Amino acid sequence: MRLGIPHTGNLYIPFRAMFERLDIDYVIPPVNSQRALSLGVRHSPEGLCLPFKLILGNLIEATEAGADTLLMVGGNGICRLGYYARTQEQILRDMGYNIEMVTLGVSNHKLFGLLKLIKQLANNAPWLKIISAFRFGLAKMNALDRIERRVQKVRAVETSKGTANRILSKAVEAIDRTDDYRMLKKIEADYTDQLNRVSTDDEAHPLVVGIIGEFYVVLEPFSNFDIESELGKLGVEVRRTTFISEWTKFSLFLNPLGINEKDRLHKAALPYLKRDIGGEGWESVGEKVLHAGKYDGLIHLAPFTCLPEIVAQNIMPHTREKIPVLTILCDEQATKTGMMTRLEAFVDMLERKRRVKKISLQAVN
């Protein structure tokens, strides 16, 4: 059995760490590229969202590279995503590839389901080995996300644009290569230190913009034209609540104990949206309500035709809490230029708003 997985941000790194430790034969498809997108688009039914098409592209490339078993997420009651695995399996089989699809359930029995699945794939290796491999993968994930959070702050104020990103790619590569806990800790400390020493403009007061919206397009830079880097170039500090390490921490560990981080968001959204509508719709409305007055603006990312986000997009303008929100739809037809034009106009507007507010406050005083 040779296992192939699709891409979502840096998720391949913790998975690779687990597979290496458990001696699972695996293949990681090339990172998302125009080729993956074209393959996915060509073989997908038309009205589907970008995540489906990109993931299908990844799975096709993984199969071309020799995978015969493919890992995909699924579950009930989440958005249409739960239906993808069976459709992708049919598409691949009809293309002539004789593959097995293995589904990781993300709605029920999450932690246990995940561990059981890994055990199955690892040829029934002992539990201790599985848990140890899982913990190592998790450690890499947490390290990556911690570094990324630091990068988000540095990108906004660095004097030489692009420095933080260069450090980030080296850090990602180093973390991917290591197979030792102590080395991992050292690498994280090392690169965090490098980031702290990047020369920054001390006079800068960057705008703070939150990124909200659908899980996949928020996390996968190829699908959103690496919007966070672009915002960094424009001198904007990006804040995000969606991180895979956060999702893992809550979904797998704390939610079963009854602690739900999303309760805060849901409570904030209640006057406008009383129930869960699937995907991240409820959370998007809640984030707008919570961050109004704290951040300067929000960027709402959604794949084209993502219904929970469309419902959120329709409800958001009518909240009492006001904050500028720019919705960017991610789709195979979108161009980077189109996004940049909107982004630049949005940032200009936010800066102007801030200037006007400052002047009016000074006038009052």
Partner 1 sequence: MIRIGIPRALLYYQYYPMWQTFFEELGAKVVVSPKTTQAMLSAGSSRVVADTCLPVKVFLGHVLALVDKCDYVFIPAVRSLKNDIYNCSKFLGLPDMTRAVIPECPDILDVDIDVNQGMSKINRAIYRLGGKLTRNPFRVRRARIAAEEADKNYLSLMVSGGLTPPEAILNLTGLKNSPEVISPMPVQKPVTGAVSPMSVQKNGITIALIGHPYLVYDEYITHRLIHRLQQAGCRVLTPEMLTSQELETAVNKLAGRAYWTYEEEVVGAGGHYLNSDVDGIIGVMTFGCGPDSLMMDMVSRQATRLQAASFMSLTLEEHTAEAGLVTRLEAFTDMVYRRKRSRQAICV
Q: Which residues contact 159 (CB under 8 A, 6 or more apart)?
A: 199, 200, 201
Q: How big is the chain by its Cα radius of gyration, in Å?
A: 21
Q: Which is nearer to partner 1, 160 or 260 (CB)?
A: 260
Place of tokens 């904050």: 323
Interface mask (CB under 8 A) for partner 1, residues 320-339, using x and -?
-------x-x----------
Binder to partner 1 among 115, 208, 310, 340 (CB under 8 A)? 310
> By CB under 8 A, which span of 78-86, 124-132, 164-172, 357-365 interacts with partner 1?
78-86
Please report whether residue 45 would count as binding partner 1 according to CB under 8 A: yes
Residue pair 296/207 in contact (Cβ under 8 Å)? The answer is yes
- Interface with partner 1: number of residues (CB under 8 A): 40
Q: Which is nearer to partner 1, 276 or 321 (CB)?
A: 276
Q: How far is CA 90 from CA 5, 79, 100, 260, 306, in A?
A: 17, 20, 10, 36, 23
Please report whether residue 213 would count as binding partner 1 according to CB under 8 A: no
Q: Which is nearer to partner 1, 241 or 305 (CB)?
A: 305
Q: How far apart are the first and last CA of the chain?
A: 72
Three-class secondary structure of residue 144 per DSSP: helix
Closest separation in Å from C-beta 268 to partner 1: 14
Closest separation in Å from C-beta 195 to partner 1: 39
Closest separation in Å from C-beta 361 to partner 1: 32
Q: Is the dihedral of CA 334, 340, 343, 349 positive or negative?
A: negative
Q: Which is nearer to partner 1, 317 or 362 (CB)?
A: 317
Q: Is the dihedral of CA 282, 288, 294, 296 positive or negative?
A: positive
Q: Which is nearer to partner 1, 186 or 274 (CB)?
A: 274
Residue pair 252/114 in contact (Cβ under 8 Å)? The answer is yes
Which residue ranges make up the site for partner 1 (CB under 8 A)? 45-49, 52, 76-77, 79-80, 82-84, 86-87, 90, 94, 272-279, 281, 304-308, 310-311, 313-315, 317-318, 327, 329
